[in-house]
């Protein structure tokens, strides 16, 4: 069994954390070093929307210290995988912070959006609870992480992703509002409750929370709660009984930060926020039918290991793609799409893609993007059939799709925008603001989707089980059909222009 070393750095709202691990080829790893140093990035970002010069300098010094640890394991700065979350996302001087870090340390920090956080968290949870997969498949579940700047939520129906959301509710954000004097504790508590109730109402429209029986809580605070109020149930997770969890929270709410430090042996800055964090979990828990809380010991850093090193294998890739597909289907159902048409067009598009991918050097990630665009290509008809391609672009740009980064959501939205009528024009700001590489991606995948959509113009699925071949000048689509497909042939002729332009091939239905 071969192995390699990896260093993952997480720049969060309250601290900078480091994980050094030995990665094995059998989808396992060994933790070699872990470190965490407090840093008030969230205090700066959520109160002033800027990271102060002093905080930036402190961050640089912490990172330099971590790099010495990395070098002792033979890991150079350029190989350190560093991610930033909500505090860096919201800081208006984010670019300045990242450049200071890069120049001073050589570390390139990637700021991830909330949905990417969800993807990394899900990877860690799925791995940590692998012995509970039968329960996940039987019951509806809610995965929640209450962080310093945001609360990440994932709702699954029998282990199929229904919704993923990133809410601007967090312990550091709460503390900042208190310290600013804008709100007192009573008003702030009511505001938090109202925000969470609104979030629960939104989740109820996607999957009734009372039908959730499997509750997964992720994060440092709830891990501490599990150490004191729960029991170890597996290598990577603990379980807390609901009544024991609520009793533990009630106890913590009566204690001062100093008393919490003494009882739980945690840092003071963590103790200050401890009760507020656990209350957020409780408010969501009380909306479900769960009687236990499952608490993984893994975090977003292990999620980076799993997605960076293991999703290339068949098992990891298949699991992620299945959840991406489930999330897109849930969005389609929410907006009352024509599921039979959407799935049929998607199958046709993927068949064409698979025929062309090697010759035109289109990677598998492009296939995933095409699949999501195919599922959602007519989602805009929810608003109006006329102009539904434009409405679809708007809906997708404002929808949280699990497994897709904000860039990838933009790509899907652009493909949907151009699957109908005119190809991108010079006045289309959304398209021309993309990089040259992404514009080519959109053009190629849109060309394929336009062909597939034309082949089901009647929404009757008359053309099935297509076989694709090509010569130097033309791509031939062969299918047995017994019905009248004159509508499809006419539509194919009208919509083949972009495909012919980007692939240099005519298209003929035989």
Q: Give me the residue label for tokens 């059998």.
A: 26
Largest CA distance in the chain: 79
- 48 pLDDT exceeds 90? no
* 452 lies in the same domain as 378: yes
* 155 lies in the same domain as 76: no
By C-alpha distance, which of 144, 275, 260 is closest to 203? 144
Which pLDDT belongs to residue 269?
81
Rounded to an integer, what distance in angstroms lies between the CA atom of residue 148 and that of residue 14?
A: 6
Confidence of residue 172 (pLDDT cuts 50, 70, 90): confident
- 189 pLDDT exceeds 70? no
Rounded to an integer, what distance in angstroms lies between the CA atom of residue 427 and that of residue 431?
A: 9
Bigger pLDDT: 113 vs 328: 328
* 293 lies in the same domain as 320: no
* 244 lies in the same domain as 321: no
Domain membership of residue 328 (yes or no) is: yes
Domain membership of residue 430 (yes or no) is: yes
Rounded to an integer, what distance in angstroms lies between the CA atom of residue 362 and that of residue 353?
A: 8
What's the number of domains the chain is made of? 3
Dump pLDDT digits (tens) for 358-394: 999 999 999 999 999 999 999 999 998 888 989 999 9
Q: Give the mean pLDDT of the chain.
A: 90
* 442 lies in the same domain as 505: yes
Which pLDDT belongs to residue 180?
52
Domain membership of residue 306 (yes or no) is: no
Are the beta carbons of 281 and 293 closer than 8 angstroms? yes
Domain membership of residue 369 (yes or no) is: yes
Average pLDDT on 70-78 reads 96
* 98 lies in the same domain as 75: yes
**Residue 315: CATH number of its domain:** 1.10.3210.10
Domain membership of residue 217 (yes or no) is: yes
Among candidate residues 96, 112, 128, the one where a domain is terminated: 112
Tokens of 325: 């597909």
**Residue 90: CATH number of its domain:** 3.30.420.40
Query: How far is C-alpha 67 from the chain's CA centre?
Result: 28
* Residue 57: Cβ within 10 Å count: 12
Among candidate residues 112, 146, 162, the one where a domain is terminated: 112
Show the CA angle centred on residue 41, arms to residues 117 and 265, nearest 5°. 85
Domain membership of residue 58 (yes or no) is: yes
Which pLDDT belongs to residue 503?
95
State the DSSP H helix or E strand holding residue 499, giving kind and residue range, or none if neither: helix 497-503
Dump pLDDT digits (tens) for 351-366: 999 999 999 999 999 9
Identify the DSSP state of 275: H
Among candidate residues 80, 112, 144, the one where a domain is terminated: 112
Beta partners for 141?
Answer: 156, 214
* 123 lies in the same domain as 242: yes
- 183 pLDDT exceeds 60? no
Rounded to an integer, what distance in angstroms lies between the CA atom of residue 196 and that of residue 193?
A: 5
Are the beta carbons of 12 and 148 closer than 8 angstroms? yes
Output the pTM of the full model. 0.83
* 362 lies in the same domain as 459: yes
Domain membership of residue 233 (yes or no) is: yes
Beta partners for 469?
Answer: 476
* 290 lies in the same domain as 377: no
Specify burial of residue 258 (Cβ count, 10 A radius: 0-12, 13-18, 19+).
Answer: exposed
- 497 pLDDT exceeds 80? yes
Show the domain range for 26.
3-112
Rounded to an integer, what distance in angstroms lies between the CA atom of residue 426 and that of residue 415?
A: 16
**Residue 274: CATH number of its domain:** 3.30.420.150
* 291 lies in the same domain as 274: yes
From residue 341, give the alpha-carbon distance in Å to each of 294, 428, 453, 463. Answer: 39, 28, 9, 12
- 510 pLDDT exceeds 80? yes
* Residue 504: Cβ within 10 Å count: 11
Question: Between 220-229 and 242-253, two packed helices, what is the crossing angle to 10 degrees?
Answer: 110
Average pLDDT on 447-455 reads 96
Confidence of residue 314 (pLDDT cuts 50, 70, 90): very low
Show the CA angle centred on residue 295, arms to residues 170 and 7, nearest 5°. 75
Beta partners for 216?
Answer: 143, 294
Domain membership of residue 305 (yes or no) is: no
* 485 lies in the same domain as 375: yes
Confidence of residue 147 (pLDDT cuts 50, 70, 90): confident
Tokens of 500: 């012919």
Are the beta carbons of 263 and 224 closer than 8 angstroms? no
- 38 pLDDT exceeds 60? yes
DSSP string, 184-234: -HHHHHHHHHHHHHHHHHHHHHHS-GGGEEEEEEESHHHHHHHHHH-EEEE
Bigger pLDDT: 125 vs 1: 125
CA atoms within 13 A of residue 84's CA, in its CB half-sphere? 22
* 380 lies in the same domain as 415: yes
184-192: list long-range contacts, CB under 8 Å, 24+ apart: 192/276, 192/279, 192/280, 192/283
The lowest-confidence range among 234-248, 297-311, 434-448 is 297-311
Dump pLDDT digits (tens) for 250-283: 999 899 999 999 999 988 888 888 887 898 899 8
DSSP string, 324-373: HHHHHHHHHHHTT--HHHHHHHHHHHHHHHHHHTTTTT--HHHHHHHHHH
Tokens of 289: 């039918």
Tokens of 271: 């103790």
């Amino acid at each position: 069994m071969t192995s390699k070393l990896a260093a993952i750095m997480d720049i969060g709202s309250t601290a900078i954390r480091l994980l050094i691990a030995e990665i094995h080829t059998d989808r396992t790893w060994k933790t070699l070093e872990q470190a965490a140093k407090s840093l008030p990035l969230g205090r700066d970002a959520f109160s002033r929307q800027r990271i102060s010069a002093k905080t930036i300098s402190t961050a640089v010094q912490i990172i330099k210290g971590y790099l010495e640890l990395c070098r002792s394991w033979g890991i150079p700065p350029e190989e350190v995988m560093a991610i930033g979350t909500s505090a860096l996302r919201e800081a208006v001087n984010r670019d300045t912070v990242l450049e200071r870090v890069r120049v001073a340390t050589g570390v390139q920090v990637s700021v991830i959006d909330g949905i990417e956080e969800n993807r990394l968290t899900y990877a860690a949870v799925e791995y940590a609870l692998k012995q509970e997969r039968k329960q996940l498949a039987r019951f509806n579940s809610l995965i929640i992480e209450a962080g310093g700047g945001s609360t990440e939520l994932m709702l699954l129906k029998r282990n199929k992703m229904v919704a993923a959301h990133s809410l601007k509710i967090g312990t550091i954000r709460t503390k900042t509002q208190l310290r600013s004097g804008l709100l007192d504790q009573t008003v702030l508590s009511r505001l938090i409750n109202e925000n969470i109730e609104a979030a629960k109402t939104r989740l109820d429209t996607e999957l009734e929370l009372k039908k959730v029986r499997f509750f997964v809580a992720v994060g440092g605070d709830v891990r501490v709660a599990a150490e004191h109020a729960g029991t170890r149930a597996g290598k990577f997770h603990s379980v807390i009984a609901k009544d024991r969890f609520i009793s533990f929270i009630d106890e913590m709410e009566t204690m001062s930060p100093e008393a919490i430090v003494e009882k739980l042996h945690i840092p003071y800055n963590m103790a200050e926020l401890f009760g507020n964090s656990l209350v957020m979990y409780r408010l969501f828990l009380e909306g479900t039918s769960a009687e236990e809380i499952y608490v993984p010991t893994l975090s977003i850093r292990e999620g980076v290991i799993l997605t960076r090193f293991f999703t290339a294998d068949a098992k990891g890739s298949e699991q992620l793609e299945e959840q991406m597909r489930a999330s897109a289907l849930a969005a389609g159902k929410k907006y009352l799409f024509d599921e039979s048409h959407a799935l049929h067009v998607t199958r046709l598009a993927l068949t064409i893609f698979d025929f062309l991918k090697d010759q035109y050097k289109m990677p598998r990630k492009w296939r995933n993007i095409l699949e999501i665009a195919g599922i959602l290509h007519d989602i805009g008809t929810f608003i109006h059939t006329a102009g539904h391609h434009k409405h679809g672009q708007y809906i997708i740009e404002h929808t949280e799709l699990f497994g897709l980064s904000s860039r990838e959501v933009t790509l899907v939205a652009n493909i949907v925008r151009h699957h109908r009528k005119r190809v991108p024009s010079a006045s289309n700001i959304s398209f021309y603001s993309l990089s040259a590489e992404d514009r080519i991606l959109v053009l190629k995948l849109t060309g394929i989707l336009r062909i597939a959509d034309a082949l089901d113009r009647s929404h009757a699925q008359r053309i099935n089980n297509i076989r694709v071949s090509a010569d130097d000048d033309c791509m031939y689509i062969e299918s047995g059909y017994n019905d009248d497909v004159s509508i499809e042939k006419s539509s194919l002729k009208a919509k083949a222009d972009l495909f012919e332009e980007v692939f240099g091939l005519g298209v003929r239905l035989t």
